[in-house]
Chain A
């Protein structure tokens, strides 16, 4: 997916962009509203991540203009102001969702997915592997014409495998990506979800192999 990140704090902007790129997303960074307008005039984005306090104006003004110009690109506001009123305000002025800094990237992804789903999604997000089609927005896989619904964690787990097909992913790595850091996780928790995903993929050539002592790997055939 292609993101426009509008954030004036250089460090935060760099680390958010780095994190998004690590997941294979394209990111353009704007530090001001003026820069953001320039980027929007030149390219098409799937999502805009917008900070509220910017040096050349209030992100809410940008939102108002964005909506007035009837641009369809969904906007997720990143706010540092936890004050409830800002949250209410941001949504009133036309943001599709908001996320409070600091945020969990998994949650940001989940919110992006939810927003894109509400907006009607796009065919581009569909991915194919082996003999199956995977639609992370609709949260289902299609195997031999049969549509199987996936739950949120199954979607995220499958995405992790699809981003690195054939590579061995350690249990710890998967745990870190799948669970929030503030929730208690037992050792076999990841096995439960891998087991579920295998069941959903049953009948497909795509398989999740256990590599003893190392982790799991997605293979075709």
Chain B
């Protein structure tokens, strides 16, 4: 089976959520770093400008006071170290002479920011320049002020952790949401499948269940398939009916005419011929009937759903129906039936099975005999037992008799197609039951047809 839609949907949503969480994490982290950098840079730049502005030309050099606010402002940022360097006319006059300058030295008071490694730390620098008139000459003055950013990094790391936690939380929250979304999306499919699955075995009406737009092509295809299936099935049934009609009606005419001729003919030789003719017509009719029964059983056996039926009542109905035929031979059908035997099955299959079993018992019984028919609940099974005092099974094993067109070795003088027991067996198996034949104590045969009892 292909990967389930729901799983695929959940998978994709989860991957999407993971991506979004990652983007969120990166955005928060980068954004936070940028924001704090900008703030710190503003302070650093202002401090560097402050220093530069405090400079004054003095005799033989430069004089400047470190404004008292400057370093305390920087110190407020945390446990950061501060480095500075003041160059006048290209000469470092105070601070760290090895403190790196920007690649392109600043030319104005607007601070230039850069980051350099210095004394085992990354130092954020701000460099400003101004020009000071010293001894009548314009001398360039450069102030570079640096600050480590260990505190800021710690804060950024903390922020990053928070961002990661937030991303993870978003991701985790997305999983149940994805499941929920997938379920609500696939729910119409499930409902549609359920409404189609719930249908009875003979229900070939088109599907009218409301389905979302996206499923409409599927429903249309399903309905067109149902339509074709219905066409095929009704064609099969019509064909079976037509075939039966076209075979049986002429056979009936033939048989009647032969019987009439037999009544009116006095010549023994002709009468014997006519009897043979009637026997053949009966044989042909019987075979045609059983072939059609067999076809019916085969095509009904595939259905997955059954209707609730009362096996005891069906045994009674079939026995009543066959009683006149049994009476023709003065055979009595003794019924001993439980009051009700609820089973799940197909009435047509059960009718065909029971009719064939009882018909067989009548056919192979001697005149004046009795056929015992019982129907009982035994454990989880409804058991129909049909016992006759007929000729028994002969030398053929019961299994062989259940095969198609297979007849016993002791039935040459009785008409039969060899399909009756096959029909019974196939019907029983189709409905989850069993059929068996066994020799009866004291002579005869015992046929047992079992179906699972329906749970109440």
Contacts and interface: CB of A to CB of B under 8 A. Distances in A.
Contacts of B305: none
Nearest to B262: A176
B278 to A, nearest CB: 4
B260 A102 contact: no
A177 to B, nearest CB: 8
A119 interface: no
B300 to A, nearest CB: 9
B119 interface: no
Q: Is the contact region of chain A dominated by helix, strand, or loop, or is it mixed? A: helix
Interface residues of A, number: 41
A107 B328 contact: yes
The majority secondary structure among interface residues of chain B is: helix
A107 B348 contact: no
A9 B241 contact: no
B282 A102 contact: yes
B330 A152 contact: yes
B328 A80 contact: no
A53 B324 contact: no
B279 interface: yes
Contacts of A211: none
Interface in B250-300: 251-257, 259-260, 262-263, 268, 271, 275, 278-279, 281-283, 285, 288-289, 292-293, 296
A6 B367 CA distance: 34
Nearest to B414: A182
A221 interface: no
A102 B252 contact: yes
Interface in B107-133: none
A151 B256 contact: no
A102 B289 CA distance: 11
Give the interface centre of B324, B414, B415 by most chain A CB atoms within 10 Å: B324
Nearest to B349: A84
A12 interface: yes
A211 to B, nearest CB: 16
Interface in B380-415: 413-415
Contacts of B245: 53, 80-81
Nearest to A89: B348
Given A88-B347, A100-B289, A22 B263 contact: yes
B323 interface: yes
A84 B353 CA distance: 10
A11 B252 CA distance: 10
B271 A176 contact: yes
A80 B328 CA distance: 22
A84 B352 contact: yes
A82 B288 contact: yes
B372 interface: no
A162 interface: no
A99 to B, nearest CB: 9
Nearest to A115: B324
B414 A84 contact: no
Interface string A101-126: 11111110011011000000000000
Contacts of A111: 324
B138 to A, nearest CB: 118
Contacts of B247: 80
Contacts of A106: 328
Given A107-B325, A110-B328, A172-B271, A83 B256 contact: no
Contact of A152 (B263, B288, B327): B327
A80 B249 CA distance: 6
A172 B347 contact: no
A7 B381 CA distance: 44
A86 B296 contact: no
A88 B414 contact: no
B253 A12 contact: yes
A101 B296 CA distance: 18
Interface stretch (A13-21, A33-41, A130-138, A198-206): A13-21
Given A80-B249, A101-B252, A18 B414 contact: no
Interface in A182-202: 182-184
Interface string B229-252: 000000001001100110111011
A19 B256 CA distance: 7
Contacts of A82: 244, 248, 288-289, 292-293
B257 A15 contact: yes
Contacts of A114: 323-324, 327
A194 B442 CA distance: 29
Kindly name the residue among A11, A81, A101, A172 whose own CB sees the greatest number of chain B CB atoms within 10 A: A101
Nearest to B241: A81
Contacts of B278: 181
Contact of A84 (B263, B293, B368): B293
B252 A12 contact: yes
B329 interface: yes
A86 B293 CA distance: 11
B351 interface: yes
A15 B260 contact: yes
A212 interface: no
Contacts of A97: 321, 324
Contacts of B237: 83, 85
In order of increasing CB-CB distance, the 6 nearest A-B pairs are A102-B252, A15-B256, A82-B289, A101-B252, A152-B327, A80-B248
11 contacts: A19-B260, A84-B296, A85-B237, A100-B285, A101-B252, A102-B255, A110-B325, A114-B323, A152-B330, A182-B414, A183-B414
Interface of B: 237, 240-241, 244-245, 247-249, 251-257, 259-260, 262-263, 268, 271, 275, 278-279, 281-283, 285, 288-289, 292-293, 296, 321, 323-325, 327-330, 347-348, 351-352, 355, 367-368, 413-415
